[in-house]
Amino acid sequence: MGPVPDLDDVATACAQRLCRADRVLLASHIDADGLTSAAVASLALERAGIPFEVVFKKQLDETEIASIAAREYDTVLFTDFGSGQLDVISEHERAGDFEPVIADHHQPAVVDGQRPSASGTDSHPAETEFHLNPLLVGLDGASELSGAGASYVLARALAEVGETEPPDGNRDLAGLAVVGAVGDMQAVDGELVGANTGIVEEGVAAGVLEEGTDLTLYGKQTRPLPKLLEYATEVPIPGISNDEAGAIRFLESLGLDLKRSGEWRTWADLTDDERQTVASALVQRAVERGVPADDIQTLIGTTYTLTEEPTGTELRDASEFSTLLNATARYERADVGLAVCRGDREAALDRAQTLLSNHRRNLSEGLTLIQERGVTHEDNVQWFDAGSAIRETIVGIVAGMALGTAGVDADKPILAFASKDDDETKVSSRGTGPLVGRGLDLSAVMREAARSVGGDGGGHDIAAGATVPAGEEQAFVDAADEIVADQLGNKS
Ligand code: C5P
Ligand code: C5P
Ligand code: C5P
Ligand code: ZN
């Protein structure tokens, strides 16, 4: 039995279909989840002795699917996308262009008027038999299973039906699946939940993963201690956050030997006792400076360590690993990220680290831009247009980071525009757990509002995106504002 029993049957069917193929074209999405999905799936194919080629796409639209259909492959495996384009893919399948296998976690598109339900496989669109998606068995695709998780379920099934049995039944790939889930921000209150926990357990049992309680600050593996604290602005601590001298004074006041050969050590490099001392002092300082108790709680949380990866590299921490991957694929270097995931620890890692410093600078500049320009508030949504100042591939990450900061309401979804080219504009949207609880479904908002102006979109209830014709931005905002009003039961 696999890590997600409800998906066992469909996973086995998908694996058997792949084993019948002479070769497979594997298509995946250009983000951390898409890269880890491709790595998990391609390693599993390789171990099963099935030849493959990997291609990455920013978005899977009609043009991209047509370009895939034009390739001489009878079998196409889509990972981390495909469900949202089921209608288009099914048409190609009917035309005999290729047979699809899909391992995804996005909202499925409606095929032939059938609306996929959460109640089981009865509404499975008949055309596409090999469709593995948590949403089809009542699991939440935004928090319970990622694209890499779905690919991992498939990899586990491939281990069983393939010609040769890989060591541990592919359970060593659980670490990559967890990186994908963390990269898609699937953690709820800092912790992976639902089907994701089954994958964590398998990774721990296989000895590739450790789950622990630790400081949640970003950069524990790689940042020198003062930088770790100075840049930790998710929970601002007066006198430490954004305050280099303050962070150094705080560390020096602890009576520990936190430098080695004159250089500051990293969190990863501390002993358990030293970590305990710094963490307690940090929490105490936050309390003294009046940081709200709820925020203080988020300073400590669940962390996922990839125990086979070298200490002091991004690869050891699931959160840092995922950011490293976004820094490659979102800048047209998916090849670098895939190589890192598949085990190239030299040339590719070095290249990825250079891309990462560039990505970090872009995120920080993007956030500053939104804060300086501010957002426009409609009744039910808020939005800003970054033009070409923020890359369309990262505008969603920036929008998510901006939600809840000064001037950006946490009670309204945010829409963020970025220019793709002269003809097309990318829109990213981000919501919050409480808004989804009240009925927000950004996947439907993006798809319907975009279609009403001649574009298309999709995604998850809490985070979704679309492409619209340039010039239709305001019409799109108006349409989205109305749909959100309907979903939340607001009067418009
Ligand atoms: O392809 P798609 O699945 O990439 O992407 C998920 C996106 O949704 C990520 O960019 C992530 O930041 C966002 N997300 C979020 N909050 C959640 C879950 C996902 O912002 N709770
Ligand atoms: O880039 P990615 O989507 O993986 O970022 C996830 C989260 O990690 C961001 O929302 C941000 O809070 C944090 N992050 C950070 N510093 C960075 C990159 C990401 O704090 N340089
Ligand atoms: O690009 P962005 O980070 O805003 O994407 C958020 C989510 O919406 C991702 O899961 C992405 O795959 C999805 N999306 C989509 N169709 C689009 C754009 C984004 O399904 N046209
Ligand atoms: Zn994903």
Percent of all residues in the chain with a pLDDT value above 90, rounded to a whole number: 82
Rounded distance between C-alpha atoms, residue 110 and residue 440, angstroms: 19
* pLDDT of the residue at 218: 87
Q: How confident is the model at residue 240 (pLDDT cuts 50, 70, 90)?
A: very high
Q: How far is the CA of 369 from the centre of ligand 3 (A)?
A: 22
Q: What is the pLDDT of residue 415?
A: 98
Q: Is 142 in the pocket of ligand 1 (CB under 6 A)?
A: yes
- Mapped onto helix, strand or coil, the DSSP state of residue 346 is coil
Question: Given the CA of residue 427, which atom of ligand 3 is nearest to it?
Answer: 4
Considering only CA atoms, which residue is closest to atom 8 of ligand 1? 463
Q: Looking at the CA of 325, name the nearest ligand.
A: 2
| 7-57 per-position pLDDT tens digit | 999 999 999 999 999 999 999 999 999 999 999 999 999 999 999 999 999
Residue 116 inside a domain? The answer is no
Asked if residue 37 lies in contact with residue 184, where contact means CB atoms within 8 angstroms, the answer is: no
pLDDT band with cut points at 50, 70 and 90 for residue 127: low
Give domain status of residue 346, yes or no.
Answer: yes
302 and 429 both lie in a single domain = no
Assess whether pLDDT exceeds 70 at residue 125: no
The per-residue pLDDT of the chain, averaged, comes to 93
Paired strand residues for 178: none
What residues are paired with 114 via a beta bridge? 111
DSSP state of 317: B
Q: Which residues pair with 279 in a beta bridge?
A: none
**Residues in a beta bridge with 459:** 464
- The DSSP code sequence of 257-303 is --EETTEEPBGGGS-HHHHHHHHHHHHHHHHHTT--HHHHHTTEEEE
Domain end marker among 317, 337, 363 = 363
Res. 492 pLDDT band, cuts 50 70 90? low
Single-letter code of the amino acid located at 271:
T
- Categorize the per-residue pLDDT at 120 as very low, low, confident or very high, splitting at 50, 70 and 90: very low
346 shares its domain with 415: no
Mutate to test the pocket of ligand 2, among 323, 361, 368 (most ligand atoms within 8 A of CB): 323
Does the structure show a pLDDT above 90 at 377? yes
Ligand 2 within 6 A of CB of 187: no
Contact 11, 152 (CB under 8 A): no
Instruction: Yes or no: say if 473 and 425 are a contact pair by the CB < 8 Å rule.
Output: yes
Mean pLDDT throughout 375-379?
97
One domain for residues 190 and 222? no
Q: Is residue 382 part of a domain?
A: yes
Q: How many structural domains compose the chain?
A: 3
- Please check whether residues 354 and 378 belong to one and the same domain: no
Q: What is the pLDDT of residue 116?
A: 46
Ligand nearest to the CA of 401: 2
Confidence of residue 157 (pLDDT cuts 50, 70, 90): very high
Tell me, rounded to whole angstroms, the distance of Cα 272 from its chain centroid.
30
Determine the pLDDT at residue 111. Answer: 63
From start to end of 46-128, where are the E strands?
52-57, 75-79, 99-103
Q: Which of 311, 337, 363 is the last residue of a domain?
A: 363
What is the C-alpha separation between 227 and 241, in angstroms, rounded?
Answer: 9
Task: Report d(CA 18, CA 364) in Å as an integer.
Answer: 42
CATH of the domain at 414: 3.10.310.40
Q: Whose CA is nearest to atom 11 of ligand 2?
A: 401
Closest ligand by atom to 440 CA: 1
d(C-alpha 161, C-alpha 275), whole Å: 45
Considering every ligand atom, which ligand is closest to the CA of 467? 3
205 near 171, Cβ under 8 Å? yes
132 touches ligand 1 (CB under 6 Å):
no
Buried b (16+ CB within 10 A) or exposed e, 424-462: ebbbbbbbbeebbeeebbbbbbbbbbbebbebbbbbbbb
Per-residue pLDDT tens digits for 458-490: 998 999 999 999 999 999 999 999 999 999 998
Q: Please determine, for residue 300, whether its predicted confidence score (pLDDT) is greater than 50.
A: yes
Structure confidence by residue, pLDDT tens digits, 339-353: 999 998 789 999 999
Same domain for 355 and 383, yes or no, is: no
- Angstrom CA distances, 160 to 11, 12, 133, stand at 11, 8, 20
Q: Are residues 190 and 43 in the same domain?
A: yes
- Which atom of ligand 1 is least distant from the CA of 396? 10
User: Could you tell me the CA-to-CA distances from 491 to 447, 448, 485, 486, 487 in Å, in that order?
Assistant: 22, 19, 7, 8, 10
The protein residue whose alpha carbon is closest to atom 21 in ligand 2 is: 360
Nearest Cα residue to atom 5 of ligand 1: 184
Domain CATH code at residue 15 = 3.90.1640.30
Instruction: Output the pTM of the full model.
Output: 0.89
* 406: number of Cβ within 10 Å: 8
Report the nearest-CA residue for atom 19 of ligand 2. 323
Same domain? 98 vs 10: yes
Report the pocket of ligand 3 as residue ranges, CB < 6 Å: 29, 59, 84, 106, 396, 428, 457-460, 463-467
Share of the chain above pLDDT 70, in %: 96
How far apart (Å, rounded) are the C-alpha atoms in residues 45 and 41? 6
33 lines ligand 1 (CB under 6 A): yes
Residue 101 contacts residue 78 (beta carbons within 8 Å): yes
Cα–Cα distance measured from residue 145 to residue 358, given in angstroms and rounded to the nearest whole number? 30
Question: In angstroms, rounded to a whole number, what is the distance separating the alpha carbons of residues 221 and 215?
Answer: 12
First-residue to last-residue Cα distance in the chain: 50
Domain edge (last residue) among 342, 363, 384: 363
pLDDT over threshold 70, residue 219: yes
Q: What is the DSSP letter of 422?
A: S
Confidence of residue 163 (pLDDT cuts 50, 70, 90): confident
For residue 405, what pLDDT band results from cuts at 50, 70 and 90?
Answer: confident
**Amino acid at site 171:** R
| Segments forming the whole domain that contains residue 276 | 212-363
Asked whether 363 lines ligand 2 (CB < 6 A), one says: yes
- State if residue 150 touches ligand 1 by the CB under 6 angstroms criterion: no
CB 204 within 8 A of CB 222: no
